[in-house]
Amino acid sequence: MPKNALYAQSGGVTPVINASAYGVISAARRHPDVIGTVYAAQNGILGALDEVLIDTAQLSDADLAALKTTPGGAFGSCRHKLRHGAELTRLFELFAAHDIGYLFYNGGGDSADTCLKVAEFAQYHGYDLTAVHVPKTIDNDLPHSDCSPGFGSVAKYVGTAIREAGLDVASMAASSTKVFILEVMGRHTGWIAASAGLAAQDNDAAPHLILTPEVAFEPGRFLKAVKETIARVGYCTIVAAEGTRDAKGTFLSEAGGADAFGHIQLGGVAPILARLIKDELGHKCHWAVADYLQRAARHIASATDLAQAIAVGEAAVEFAVKGQRSVMPAIIREDSEPYRWRIDAVPLHDVANREKPLPREYLDADGWRLSAEGRAYFAPLIVGEAPPPFVDGLPAYPRWQFSHLPKKLIPFERG
């Protein structure tokens, strides 16, 4: 009798996380003799603890196809660090009650760690569970995978945004705003900020300066570069990572409290830079903070990223069917030009809770722009368009309301 599977989305969503859900569910449907039903946890692991499960058998083929074109998390995601003890035990009560033998956990580095813990708990207690982590993060900081599904689409968004804004600034700089700053995400890494460098066809094209956490921010050096760029080009466009920090590691902006994992919420670097430039150089600045817009911009997703998001979902199921446990499907680059990639299984031990910083050599000597090596890395990830359907002028995204499975367990009191 085939065991059922649990699929859960975890952490910040991406423009293509649902494409991985599509990959998992559609691949599982091709192995009915091995995998029974795929249950999706409503709102990630919290839904699992609360036994709020969605039987994905209710998704029609059209629903499945729509997963490929809808941003956000179709089943809901969460930021919750699974606790040892009561929570982990509860999860296995859920597994037992719903005959779950497969876990497909779709998330980033924190989630890989959770997935591994669940797998280890199962092994220790002799519970027959195949746990596979499905990679996802716009931050691109997962080790052992050449890139992370979600990242390529965000890179395409920020590249498009700074190229477009750059043309806007260029056309008015002679008499108006000379400096434009775009703040992008990326947590403690500069992957997203650096990827915007793809938009620059030459040294005078936007973005002129990229700020990453990997290169310590020095106000004097920065202001000098802004000044020189304005003198040379007539204006200056800047892409700043939210995690931009100085040599001591102090973030330019610490906008709020910490999340469930103890991460500080970043944001607000752009207005701080604008103030610095205004005060020190006297230039009025315009600035934009893309925030969730970049992370949800399915309308300008990368077709390459979409294909990889689907592929890791499908591969996770294929690995599980073959009996591979505690692994993550990783994207392996075979060549950059022409771009070729495959998917390999890497042990979760090697992935969990580790951040992959942007290699310094992906930036030029100054750290302001992409090096040739960096460009070669990023270029293929944004290639191809995969727009969603549009109805009445807007992307047509379904707003699913799924019915939930009847509960079998007594309610769980979360601490």
What's the count of helices (H) and strands (E) in the chain, helices before strands?
Answer: 12, 13
Separation CA 139–CA 383 (nearest Å): 18
Which helix (H) or strand (E) covers residue 151, if one does? Answer: helix 151-172
Taking CB under 8 A as the criterion, the residue among 124, 201, 403, 413 binding its own copies is: 201
CB 188 within 8 A of CB 196: no
Q: Which is nearer to its own copies, 300 or 316 (CB)?
A: 300
Residue 52 C-beta: closest distance to its own copies, Å: 10
Taking CB under 8 A as the criterion, the residue among 99, 385, 407, 408 binding its own copies is: 385
Q: Residue 132's closest CA among 329, 272, 366? A: 329
DSSP 23-51: HHHHHHHT-TTTEEEEEEETTTHHHHHTT
Q: Which stretch binds its own copies (CB under 8 A): 98-106, 214-222, 285-293, 349-357?
A: 285-293
Taking CB under 8 A as the criterion, the residue among 23, 36, 76, 186 binding its own copies is: 76
Size of the site for its own copies (CB under 8 A): 80
Separation CA 7–CA 75 (nearest Å): 9
CB atoms within 10 A of CB 389: 10
Q: Is 371 in the site for its own copies (CB under 8 A)?
A: no
Q: Which of 50, 110, 139, 305 is catalytic?
A: 139
Q: Is 161 in the site for its own copies (CB under 8 A)?
A: yes
Q: Which is nearer to its own copies, 43 or 130 (CB)?
A: 43
Q: Is 116 in the site for its own copies (CB under 8 A)?
A: no
Q: Which is nearer to its own copies, 257 or 406 (CB)?
A: 257
Q: Which residues are annotated as a binding site for substrate?
A: 137-139, 185-187, 242, 292-295
Residue 74 C-beta: closest distance to its own copies, Å: 7
Ranges within 242-281 binding its own copies (CB under 8 A)? 256-257, 259-260, 265, 267-268, 270-271, 278
Cα-based torsion angle of the residue sequence 135, 187, 305, 43 in order, rounded to the nearest 10 degrees: 50
Separation CA 114–CA 91 (nearest Å): 12
Residue 338 C-beta: closest distance to its own copies, Å: 13
Cα–Cα distances in angstroms (integers) from residue 310 to residues 9, 339, 406, in the given order: 14, 17, 30
For the record, the structure tokens of 143 come out as 């080790």
Q: Is 366 in the site for its own copies (CB under 8 A)?
A: no
Residue 127 C-beta: closest distance to its own copies, Å: 26
Residue with structure tokens 């692991």? 45
- Report the relative pairing of strands 327-336 and 339-347 from DSSP bridges: antiparallel
- Asked if 50 is an active-site residue, the reply is no
Residue 317 C-beta: closest distance to its own copies, Å: 22
Q: Which stretch binds its own copies (CB under 8 A): 88-96, 117-125, 169-177, 322-330?
A: 169-177
CA angle 61, 138, 209 (to 5 degrees): 140
CB atoms within 10 A of CB 275: 12
Residue 149 C-beta: closest distance to its own copies, Å: 16
Q: Is 70 in the site for its own copies (CB under 8 A)?
A: yes
Residue 274 C-beta: closest distance to its own copies, Å: 9
As to burial, measured by CB atoms within 10 angstroms (0-12 exposed, 13-18 middle, 19+ buried), residue 353 is middle
Q: Residue 139's closest CA among 207, 196, 190? A: 190
CA angle 269, 213, 372 (to 5 degrees): 115
Q: Which is nearer to its own copies, 379 or 405 (CB)?
A: 379
Q: Which is nearer to its own copies, 76 or 190 (CB)?
A: 76
Q: Which amino acid is at 193?
A: A
Q: Which residues are annotated as a binding site for diphosphate?
A: 12
Q: Is 59 in the site for its own copies (CB under 8 A)?
A: no
Q: Which stretch binds its own copies (CB under 8 A): 92-100, 125-133, 198-206, 218-226?
A: 198-206
Taking CB under 8 A as the criterion, the residue among 240, 277, 290, 327 binding its own copies is: 290
Taking CB under 8 A as the criterion, the residue among 24, 27, 35, 78 binding its own copies is: 78
Residues serving a catalytic function are 139
